[in-house]
Amino acid sequence: MSTKRSNGEGSIYPYKNGHAAYVWVTKPDGKRARKYVYGKSRDEVHDKWIRLHAEAKNGPVSTSSPTLGPYLTRWLAEVVDPDLKPKTAETYAMHVRLYITPGLGAKRLDKLTVRDIRTWVNTLLAQCQCCAQGKDAKRDRPRCCAAGACCKQLASRRTVQDARAVLRSALTNAITEELIPKNVAALVKVRSGRKVKRHPWSVEEAREFLEAARSVRDPLYTAYVLILVLGFRRGEVLGLTWKNVNLDAGEVTVDLQLQRIRRQLVHDETKTEASSAVLPLPQICVTALRLRQKEQEAAKQAAGELWTESDFVFTTRYGTPVEPRNFNRSFASRSDKAGVRRIRLHDTRHTCGSLLAALDVHPRVAMQILRHSKIAVTMEVYTHIPSEATRKALRKLGEHLGQQAQK
């Protein structure tokens, strides 16, 4: 083939073992610069050159592209941290650190392909995360992967879905910044895994748990009442302040939560507007909260100068906020001592739904108490209630708690 340049193609020229070309483009920062394309043949470069011309006419074109790792670091700092809730931002950063950067961080942003994403997803699904993250190697005494006995700790499909969703969000921002033309992560789907079937406490188990906590004057007894009767989440119950409790009116306002984020305790508003609500307090809760007031005042007197003043309803014996992880440990320990099954703390919300359903509370009212955004979620809880037996157990539970609270 002749190397003679055609009219208007003065920027295509022989280069190394093929050809190269450039087009003057306007960069996102408004400056003019050359952008180059390369290929093994003149025809290949000519096609790329034509596409680049069209791209330059449509708008700004980036002349250089970072690798994914540095781009994600900047995206987290400049977009995610300022715009999202602290806990959500921390979750995004965790997925980037543990899953995305190790597998794709060295890839050039504009060179990412659907095949790259698919290979990364398949690797995540098959790779032991204990090995990949060196979890066992960090222990003083290795007991599995670092000792030559891989524990096969695979990432769940939900985890892989979430990591892909974070990557998709990052690449969507890259499109907005005109760094790439399309989002290849959006073109790769991850099949959902089977839902893990949860087995929350029955009403009888909840009654046994609360009886055990009340009998030994567990300082977190009132917190347990709130999470079981009103469906409080961990952050909501630990972030509750006396300012938001109106015992005379029998109401509590839920609009704050306490979380440990990036090694700091953060007392902030709830994640969504739907999570914030003014809830009616059943008499059991009112009595438990009055009891909590007396216990806190006694603890303050005992601590003396060591007491830290705050408005939190639930505090340590020195007035400091209760650590979220310590609350989980206390809940698990109390479950063992009460002789009931261990369940996830978050699963108590399903028990709350059982209590409300057994009380024949209208689903719309229960939806408001549980702060579900969709009635279908509430109805799913209601369909799992063994009606008559649960109603009897609930009446027994209510009578017992009322008697205990009056002592």
- Which tens digits make up the pLDDT trace of 52-84? 888 888 888 777 778 999 999 999 999 999 998
Are 279 and 371 contained in the same domain? yes
Domain that holds residue 219: 203-406
CATH value at residue 243: 1.10.443.10
Are 153 and 291 contained in the same domain? no
Quote the crossing angle between the two packed helices 283-303 and 387-406, to the nearest 10°: 40
Are 169 and 281 contained in the same domain? no
Give the per-residue pLDDT at 398. Answer: 53
CA-nearest of 394, 37, 10 to 202 is 394
Distances in Å between the Cα of 350 and the Cα atoms of 61, 96, 233 are 52, 32, 11
Beta carbons of 279 and 254 less than 8 angstroms apart: yes
One-letter amino acid at 288 equals A
* 197 part of a folded domain: no
* 304 part of a folded domain: yes
Are 134 and 163 contained in the same domain? yes
Tokens of 106: 């060295």
Are 137 and 156 contained in the same domain? yes
Are 400 and 317 contained in the same domain? yes
Check: pTM over 0.85? Answer yes or no: no
* 194 part of a folded domain: no
Beta carbons of 247 and 287 less than 8 angstroms apart: no
Are 252 and 380 contained in the same domain? yes
Are 235 and 379 contained in the same domain? yes
Beta carbons of 68 and 107 less than 8 angstroms apart: yes
Are 227 and 277 contained in the same domain? yes
Are 389 and 331 contained in the same domain? yes
* 364 part of a folded domain: yes
Residue stretches of the chain with pLDDT short of 50? 1-2, 5-10, 401, 405
CA-nearest of 65, 47, 52 to 25 is 52
Tokens of 328: 């989980």
Are 341 and 214 contained in the same domain? yes
Question: Domain ends where: 156, 187, 218?
Answer: 187
Question: Domain ends where: 187, 218, 238?
Answer: 187
- Helix H, strand E, coil C: the string for 300-335 is HHHHHHHCCCCCECCECCCCCECCHHHHHHHHHHHH
* 142 part of a folded domain: yes
Give the per-residue pLDDT at 406. Answer: 55
* 380 part of a folded domain: yes
β-sheet with 245-246: strand ranges across: 245-246, 251-254, 277-280
Give the per-residue pLDDT at 359. Answer: 59
Are 352 and 296 contained in the same domain? yes
